[in-house]
Chains A and B, each alone.
Chain A
């Protein structure tokens, strides 16, 4: 790789940042995600409407976009622009927290399996195989439909069923790293298992964990949208991108503008997250 920066030592953080900034799709994605985050945070302060405020004059039929309602209104007379960005809050929050749950669980399970090996490894990897052998979307639908979970519980359901990829990656990292000399050195200095795992091995496995955590955000957003689109996820009047599309689908012929913004935003957000993950992979794990 051709480095043209100033000579002299560079901190790993700055090197990483420089590499990431050289990846143009990742930079564009970061900017998009930052703007989106700002919009969904600011929406209650900026929007003149509440997400469940019904304009009684507009009830019955979806209304075209106009100067007062930029994205139009749905058949309940609710302002779509406000609902789309409120929905973004829920969708992004669920995506981020479910990815966090999946990453924490996957890292813990992968680390234990890889570090201890033996029967611990056998049991945990068999568990991973079991969960991986059940079709994901039907299983999430089944759980979500049966228990009609609150938002935190929904996050838990998604997270608890999507940790397997991370666990496998972390396990293989631990299998390699635990054989290296610096681990022997730390052990010789008296470090216990907990300290070896958390302070010595885990920091060296952060690169692939970061990448898979990023990609998990995208797949969690997608999963929540699919659930809510099918009617088994977050229930109205609380908007999410998925249930906004569910509400828009009967009107696809008469009022197609209802289906455009939520779908485009899921698409753009997941695309941005995937590009960011790709950029992070290139920056964190350079091939050469």
Chain B
């Protein structure tokens, strides 16, 4: 894929952020009480002071003007200030992002490590007892509510067995690599549960499709054994759609895991979102929603590109 083509895809994709930002802007400004509702509820803020804040935030201007001003400052990297802390939204988010990336990255790695062998195994042992069992488990993995799974793991491993800390990022004053790992274990497992289930299902059906192809029969006819054909001939092609699915999932690593981070008090941007919801901190909420949307759009683009790169049959002209 050439650089020019890459650039063209990028230019073709990015304009979608405009209607997204307009939609999000409208939602926040349609809120009952508007973005300054927190101040209105505060008895120590006089109506005059409120009026001053309104003017300072530019909320006295007409809505279209406000949107354009907001868009301009968003693009310039000025995402406004948090209502709760008064600090720049960018700083608030940047502080929380590493924890989210660590959790999301670990969960992705764990998912890959489990989904690959499960997918290959179930495809190889199609219609066996093991396949049925693992298929049932995948359905369960896709149907179990993450918040309940998290509670049950806390009950088992923290309260009953006492093996793992129930929540948090590290033990204050006593944190080392092992302590970090112990805190990371449960949230990462919870977060990877559904992805393991869906990725292994995709891989299984993808391998099953590929095994029907003529060139597989040829490989068998040439005398290769089953495992060899599966790994060397079938898996390479079967992975193409799966890699696309995985690239799409990258967005969730950046946009955070709202539920998992909340249950495990993980100091990432998913938890920041819930805290900002409770404090009606609209500038932070807008920043997080935009960040999530940008990562979704980029993940879509990445999936397209990866698809073209790994499959030479695909041509975007």
Contacts and interface: CB of A to CB of B under 8 A. Distances in A.
Contacts of B19: 126, 130
B100 interface: no
B300 A133 contact: yes
Contacts of A253: 155, 159
Given A135-B293, A142-B289, A271 B143 contact: yes
Listed residue (B16, B145, B159, B263) with the most chain A CB atoms within 10 angstroms of its CB: B145
Contact of A134 (B139, B144, B296): B296
B296 A137 contact: no
Contact of A141 (B144, B155, B251, B258): B258
Interface in B150-177: 151-152, 154-155, 159
Interface stretch (A53-61, A171-179, A198-206, A226-234): A226-234
Contact of A256 (B145, B155, B255): B155
A135 B255 contact: yes
A230 B280 CA distance: 15
Interface string B274-308: 10010010000100110011001100100000000
A142 B285 contact: yes
A122 B223 CA distance: 51
A262 B145 CA distance: 11
B40 interface: no
How many chain A residues sit at the interface, stated as a range, is 35 or more
Contacts of A274: 139, 142-143
A267 B193 CA distance: 14
Contacts of A184: none
B147 interface: yes
A249 B264 CA distance: 11
A225 B289 contact: no
Contact of A252 (B155, B251, B258): B155
Instruction: Give the secondary structure class of A's interface.
Output: helix
Contacts of A134: 20, 23-24, 289, 292-293, 296
A71 B262 CA distance: 27
A245 B147 CA distance: 9
B220 interface: no
Interface string B133-146: 00010011011111
A214 B17 CA distance: 32
- Give the interface residue-count category, chain B: 35 or more
A270 B145 contact: yes
A145 B279 CA distance: 11
A141 B151 contact: no
Nearest to B18: A130
A141 B273 contact: yes
A226 B293 CA distance: 20
Interface string A259-287: 10011001100110011001000000000
Contacts of A252: 151, 154-155, 159
A138 interface: yes
A252, A259, A266 interface centre (most CB from chain B within 10 Å) = A252
Contacts of B215: none
25 contacts: A126-B19, A130-B19, A132-B296, A133-B297, A134-B23, A134-B289, A135-B252, A135-B292, A135-B296, A138-B255, A142-B285, A143-B27, A146-B28, A146-B31, A146-B280, A226-B145, A226-B147, A230-B147, A230-B259, A230-B262, A252-B151, A253-B159, A263-B145, A263-B151, A266-B145
3 interchain residue pairs of minimum CB distance: A263-B148, A271-B143, A135-B292
